[in-house]
Structures are given as C-alpha cells and as structure tokens.
Chain A
Amino acid sequence: GQNIDQPTEMTATEGAIVQINCTYQTSGFNGLFWYQQHAGEAPTFLSYNVLDGLEEKGRFSSFLSRSKGYSYLLLKELQMKDSASYLCAVREGAAGNKLTFGGGTRVLVKP
C-alpha cells in the first residue's frame, strides 16, 4: 500500500521561492511525479524523478531521495499564475502502471 504526505496549504510572495515536501511509503517504488492543478482544470505534468537527485526544468525543480522516501518540488521566482494545487504522486508496482496521489498542496501566491 501507499502513504503519501504533503502539506495542505502554503502561502508565498510573488518573486519568492517555495518548497513543497512530499514523503511516501511504498512497497514497490517506480518513480515519483509532480503535477500542477489549477482550480477546475485537469492536472498537468510537471516532473518525474526515478533516480536520486535534482531535476531542474526552468523555474521548477524536483528532488528525490529514495532511501528517505522523500521528494520536494521547488518553485522559484514565483508568479501569480503559480497559485494552484501541486500533487505528489508515486508510481508503484512491477509494471509501474499505477499512480497513487498525495492529498495535494494548495499554494497561494500573494503580491
């Protein structure tokens, strides 16, 4: 089974940096995803980590430590449009077909 934890809400100021942590417990880890979801819209893919380390993609970076069951998503130079929910999801199983999502972190960017 899966247990994926992330904070419920975070608030940050435009131009600042925010780090969203995600911890997980899994029986068959096969990668970790981060998605962004604006209110009323479908989730959109942000990043994927399967090996330890940092993956950087523009203003967004994602880090994974498999030994610690830990990941974070780093949002830099925050913009108002970054206000959204950020979902951590773990892919599990030998076939790696199933995604299990955390509860999501609602980020509010203030001017």
Chain B
Amino acid sequence: SAVISQKPSRDICQRGTSLTIQCQVDSQVTMMFWYRQQPGQSLTLIATANQGSEATYESGFVIDKFPISRPNLTFSTLTVSNMSPEDSSIYLCSVFGTGSSYEQYFGPGTRLTVT
C-alpha cells in the first residue's frame, strides 16, 4: 500500500493568484499522478510526474497553467496558476502501491475554491 498526504487540504483563493499543492508519499515511487475532480464530475488526469524528467501532460492541460515539480521520489508539487473560478475543483495526487503493479492509491485531495 501507500500512504499519501496533501497540503493544503482546502483553500479559497482569489482570481488571478496561484496556489501550490504539495503531495508527500510514505515510500519511494517512480511515478506520481495529478488528477482533477470538478464538482459532481469524475476524475481527469492532469499529468504524470517522473523524478528527474519533465512531467507529461494530458490533452487540455499545459505546463504554464499547471507547473509540476518532482524533486525526489517521495514528493511532488502541482501549481494552479493564474486561477479562475473554473479551476475550482478537488486536486488529487496518486501513486501505484509499492510491491504492486496495479493498485493505485489516492491522496485525500485538496479542495480549491476560486472566487
């Protein structure tokens, strides 16, 4: 299994500002995933963060809007830049479990509201 923590758990931000979300895992993992879950919607993959290389972004998501850092094998950050109300969402960090090739675990999420 994997234990994932995220900071902050929630925040209310003003339009035009940026917020950096932190994700910490209790074990070393190669890949970390960032998802978004908009109100009443399912999860959408934003990007995959690998240590030592640029993150891979999914269609519709760009690095300028969602820059990602991955300084080591247990930590990653996602920044939501120049926020607008449409960015109001839950942002979740996810990893594969250690010792397993398929179980994927999710952090508790960061609930972001942009006013």
A101 in contact (CB, < 8 A): yes
Bound-state Cα–Cα, A98 to B31, Å: 11
Give the contact stretch, choosing among A10-18, A42-50, A58-66, A75-83.
Answer: A42-50
Contacts of A87 in B (CB 8 A): 42-43
Contact A42 B109 (CB under 8 A): yes
- Residue in A41, A48, A104 whose CB lies within 8 Å of B102: A48
- A residues in contact (CB < 8 Å) with B: 31, 33, 41-45, 48, 50, 87, 89, 91, 97-104
Bound-state Cα–Cα, A98 to B33, Å: 9
Q: Taking A42-B92, A42-B109, A48-B102 as contacts, is the C-beta distance between A97 and B48 under 8 angstroms?
A: yes
Contact B43 A101 (CB under 8 A): yes
- Residue in B45, B107, B108, B109 whose CB lies within 8 Å of A100: B45
Instruction: Name the interface residues of B42-97: CB closer than 8 Å to any CB of A.
Output: 42-45, 48, 58, 92, 94
Contact B31 A101 (CB under 8 A): no
Bound-state Cα–Cα, A99 to B42, Å: 12
The residue of chain A having its C-beta at the shortest distance from the C-beta of B97 within the complex is A45
Contacts of B104 in A (CB 8 A): 33, 45, 99
- Residue in B58, B102, B106 whose CB lies within 8 Å of A42: B106
Could you list some 14 contacts between A and B, CB below 8 A?
A33-B104, A41-B109, A42-B92, A42-B108, A45-B103, A48-B103, A89-B43, A98-B48, A99-B43, A99-B104, A100-B45, A101-B42, A101-B44, A102-B42
Contacts of A43 in B (CB 8 A): 43, 92, 106
